[in-house]
Structure 1
């Protein structure tokens, strides 16, 4: 008989042993069985991280999704190049009765047999006794899968209830036991304040790399991986649970949900974390390509006609072949303006208000009162949400009532936490200090200076708009720019 040896390793969760041994051992046992029976091995096919029980929906019915190796086995059998498929155990070939139906159809079509190195005899799926033995094996394999899933779910539930950290690798800012790594923790706290003050992710990443503050994997920081770390709920002491969810079309997506507070000490407050999430997720935020900023006001100033942000560009060459920097409306070139005069004008206006801002506290009385009210409301709604789940558990309400009530609570909590995040963002202030020489110190070759100047402008100015200069007007004048300044004393109680 001509044989195909098939070896497969299932995807293995972290912390569990691989199911089915290793591939080399599977092949060795299967080869020994072929040698004992005098079978000629036509091909050895191996697959790693391949499941025998996945499926997708096709025309309203579930169809198994097998790896490319198994598809090769079926192809060889259907073309008459094999009489028997050999594996270490039958669960390498099928794990559900649905898979077994497909194998029975294949056996009736081609007459192929199945053989397992750790089982006596050969399964003839064309015979009633062979199919009975196969069904029993499939039922056992399905039960084993269901029990494993149940054990994993109970284990995850225990970890969620305990609130203890469960990290496969050490996260930045923490040790594996949940304690803080001092230098990284302080860098993260400062990064939250800097980002909310307008400093770019690129500048922060550059600073961390320059100080030798690398990722837990020993890699340099970029805007992308820094952004990912800042958006981790664990930094605010929020515990999350991630799981793979099978979609109706067979796709598997990873879903992460917050499950409550943890028992490790947070690096930043929850309101600070949610303020940063809101800021980085703002669709109107000019995130660019994640690199260094090349202009002071690009993405800050808006066009008064279409409200699009301006971007930096270059003018056409004059008769002498020279060009100069300009700001151009990104919405359709409604307005253009020379960049250097506009930068100078806005910075001088900001400097004129430095003393006014430096003399005011960062936190005002109305914000403090509003934060207290929001925190009290959040506590009440959280307790109401917990009470709904307890009422369902004892049978006082049905599932639909519980889901509707929890949905309303979650919407209210989202509203409250968004408001808390906004209040926290308002409290993040740039230390203006002595900025009278800001314009002289601003160096376009140093993006860090650009970031600092931008953060000052964004703190003092609520809105900066470009106005039309008029036909034929080339030079910049003060009436070509409209600035709405923030009121540093809004809501502040004195005395």
Structure 2
């Protein structure tokens, strides 16, 4: 019998694999643990639930002393050990030893917490496999955890090898249903695939990720779990190699997959390059809110202008020196934003509405990517040959590293050309519609800015004082338009 009857016992429930946030496993554990507490006469103070949490897998974390080490990530267990150490809790119940700990270091921390208190806080389990009442119990727990840890390592190795084999063969490795595919992970779901194509094309054409996410949610499209999209979730989904029919193992592309590509590989690579570009502005504070901000140029110094609120709370365009530079000499311009944007917008719409506007799509055709793909395949094959030669001892590590580095450099250049050649036409879905002006009005600001940048250069010239002949303060002759197309 325990030397004391806990009045503030903690129940620890854990399961390592819970699909779709299913809590059935931990709910059953809690019910059995409460029944044991009732039989023992213990009073339950806290219930810790670690659902879908591994007791074996470790991650690199920063330790209290500032150094880094590999530890299991078990916040719930850490709380329980702390409460036992401080005396806030005076007993622990788990369903089984495996449910409580599978890492020897975690067990030793639990043993320390028990042995530091006098009298020892009792630790029990429903199955009887976890008891730390004396030296024999502790020794048995250490042996059982060591055996369980080895079993986890063996299982992890077998699973990893199986997943690598499946990925190399282009097979689906299972998991949560991927958006765009049916539950088998191979058969394309047409409606969801169409959304992936639309979102990819919109982003490559200049739309913002925020706007595309809003449009997808407004259309009633939901994730494979039935939830609304966040910008981060949509970004991650669109960057999946599986969308291009590529199989992945531990973040590395290992070959073609058994399922069809939803988007061409070159379009996918272009999208990844776009969304991972360090120069891409993602901070809400740096996001352009006006049509010409950063695009229009000052007629005095030639610098891009930005839009800001003037003293009268009017939005105006003005040039600013970059950080660390002094303002260049010359006549700089300041121009009220709204009438200028309206004027430029009318010019853009007029250009998009011309009968020859569809020719802009033809002008956007870029380098033929078919030969580039052939070169990329050949380079990847050479990388595989290098690995085989090194494994067979034909070349040493230095030769392998030098050769691989050169091949990878060539491959990166080819993939960069594929991405550049696969950027979607900014004019697609605008000039080829029945009503380009109406289409323009429905575009987000990012897409409008991309169209403006592709069509013309706008320079703001110094303007005279007073009203124009028509009574307005805006003078169209003070704006220089240089067509690019």
Go from structure 1 to structure 2 and tell me whether the alpha carbon gap of 1:109 and 1:29 turns closer, same or farther (over 3 Å shift): same
1:173 maps to: 180
Quote the Cα distance in structure 1 between the aligned partners of 2:126 and 2:433. 79
Q: Is the 8 A contact 1:7 1:47 kept in 2?
A: yes
- 1:185 matched to 2:198: no
Report the secondary structure of 2:367's partner residue: helix
What are the superposed Cα offsets for residues 327-385 of structure 1, whole Å, 9 maximum, x if unpaired? 345768974323324542575378469566644772689823xx344333212211111
Q: What does 1:230-379 correspond to in 2, within 5 Å?
A: 230-242=238-250, 256-285=251-280, 289=284, 295-298=290-293, 300-302=295-297, 305=301, 307-308=303-304, 310-311=306-307, 317=312, 326-329=316-319, 335-339=333-337, 340-341=339-340, 343-345=342-344, 347-348=346-347, 351=350, 358-359=358-359, 362=362, 367-368=367-368, 371-379=369-377
Quote the Cα distance in structure 2 between the aligned partners of 1:347 and 1:95. 68
The 10-residue stretch of structure 1 (295-304 or 418-427) with the greater mean CA deviation from structure 2? 295-304
Q: Please report the TM-score for the alignment, with normalisation by the length of structure 2.
A: 0.72
Quote the Cα distance in structure 2 between the aligned partners of 1:29 and 1:399. 61
Q: Is the 8 A contact 2:291 2:341 kept in 1?
A: no
Structure 1 residue 485: deviation in Å? 1.5
Go from structure 1 to structure 2 and tell me whether the alpha carbon gap of 1:71 and 1:483 turns closer, same or farther (over 3 Å shift): same
Go from structure 1 to structure 2 and tell me whether the alpha carbon gap of 1:61 and 1:275 turns closer, same or farther (over 3 Å shift): closer
- 1:12 matched to 2:17: yes
Q: What does 1:8-407 correspond to in 2, within 5 Å?
A: 8-12=13-17, 14=19, 22-28=28-34, 30-31=36-37, 35=40, 40-41=42-43, 43=45, 45-49=47-51, 52=55, 54=58, 56=61, 58=63, 59=65, 66-68=74-76, 70-76=78-84, 78-79=86-87, 82=90, 85-110=92-117, 112=120, 114-119=123-128, 123-125=132-134, 127=135, 129-166=136-173, 168-177=175-184, 178-201=186-209, 204=212, 208=216, 212-219=220-227, 225-242=233-250, 256-285=251-280, 289=284, 295-298=290-293, 300-302=295-297, 305=301, 307-308=303-304, 310-311=306-307, 317=312, 326-329=316-319, 335-339=333-337, 340-341=339-340, 343-345=342-344, 347-348=346-347, 351=350, 358-359=358-359, 362=362, 367-368=367-368, 371-397=369-395, 402=400, 405-407=403-405
Q: Is the 8 A contact 1:193 1:428 kept in 2?
A: no
Q: Alignment partner for residue 462 of structure 2, among 463, 469, 474?
A: 469
Quote the Cα distance in structure 1 between the aligned partners of 2:192 and 2:481. 42
| Count of paired positions | 452
Quote the Cα distance in structure 2 between the aligned partners of 1:376 and 1:232. 22
Quote the Cα distance in structure 1 between the aligned partners of 2:244 and 2:87. 59
Q: Is the 8 A contact 2:14 2:49 kept in 1?
A: yes
1:485 maps to: 484
Quote the Cα distance in structure 2 between the aligned partners of 1:367 and 1:484. 24
Go from structure 1 to structure 2 and tell me whether the alpha carbon gap of 1:115 and 1:350 turns closer, same or farther (over 3 Å shift): closer
Gaps of 5+ in 1: 243-255, 318-322, 487-495
Q: Please report the TM-score for the alignment, with normalisation by the length of structure 1.
A: 0.71
Gaps of 5+ in 2: 467-472
Q: Alignment partner for residue 459 of structure 1, among 430, 435, 454?
A: 454
